[in-house]
Amino acid sequence: MGKILVTGGAGYIGSHTVVELITAGYTPIILDDFRNSKPFIIGQLKEITGQDVEVCQVDCNNKSAVESVFKAHPDILGVIHFAAYKAVGESVEQPLMYYKNNVNSLLVILEVMEQFKTKHLVFSSSCTVYGEPGKPVVTESTPIQSATSPYGDTKIVCEKVIDFTIQNSKSNAALLRYFNPIGAHDSAKIGELPQGVPNNLLPYLTQTVNGIRDHLTIFGDDYNTADGTCIRDYIHVVDLAKAHVKAIDWLKLQDEGIVEPFNLGTGHGSSVLDIIHTFEEVNQVKVNYKIGQKRAGDVEQIYADPTKANTELKWQPQYSLGDALKHAWKWEKSLAEYV
């Protein structure tokens, strides 16, 4: 099926995508410098797939090092570009670090792809590009809003860079706008591995139940939603990973110069309290949570209209919310073996 370079391939979504690429018959090559991931994940990938995965320990900002990977693999079919910083709060504190890493790494990848005539790019984007939408359900034609954080702005900038670059090239690209990835591989061998205090709801919740955190704080319970808490579209990370494989398959059938965005979500919104109560139900545990003040910049509710991905990519999520929450807890309990 061909070689696919996966930048950030040892990370949360990247590692699950490597598994799905192998399952689909592709040969992934991981490019990762492990600044936001752990080397033990590579061994876990071999245990899941039964195959060795080539790993290039390279910083995506180092053009000569990236070129050396392409020189060693001149037959790379496409690139899935995950490698980026992703913490909203940190981006507010260190904006220059985010612009330098997230935007510059993309520029390097695009330059080297052009140099080696690599045709296909799948870009890891985010629903943050929609900001606070006028309606909670968003399509790909929903207007892009001004970003409320440097992290969100880097995604908008990168999408624009790809659009202008690819339209005048012999390549094509899919911009995958994720909603809220949760869960883990059902083997409990790979999953979300936050560095330090988690920024996302699910790892903070599982760490709270596991006794690592004292309690989970819900930021506001007086939003204009059914139970007063924020609503998001939570998607199982394995379903998300499979969409990247579908995107590569789709790009292989497209003309050069094509750039298309796709929303990757379930099409259903769940509130923070929905997540907590479902987690308690499927795992037979209690979550110690408290209500806190609203956070500035939190979107009240947003979820995907995934029709375009369903029809054009021939992709449908398979896992339920309960599945994702069971797999997240299973992964959390297994982590003591690895870290």
Active site residue 234: no
- What gap in Å lies between CA 139 and CA 161, rounded to an integer? 21
DSSP string, 104-173: HHHHHHHHHHHHTT--EEEEEEEGGGG-S-SSSEE-TTSPPPPPSSHHHHHHHHHHHHHHHHHHTSS-EE
From the list 85, 98, 151, 178, the catalytic residue is 151
End-to-end CA distance of the chain: 35
Asked if 20 and 52 touch (Cβ cutoff 8 Å), the reply is no
Residue 236 has what DSSP assignment? E
The residue type at 197: V
Is residue 183 a contact partner of residue 332, using CB atoms and an 8 Å limit?
A: no
* Cβ atoms of 5 and 79 closer than 8 Å: yes
| Cβ pair 263, 255 in contact under 8 A | no
Helix (H) or strand (E) holding 96: helix 95-98
Are the beta carbons of 299 and 230 closer than 8 angstroms? yes
Amino acid at 71: K
Q: At what angle do helices 321-334 and 201-209 cross, to 10 degrees?
A: 60
CB 241 within 8 A of CB 178: no
Q: What angle do CA 100, 124, 21 make, to 5 degrees?
A: 130
- The set of catalytic residues is 151
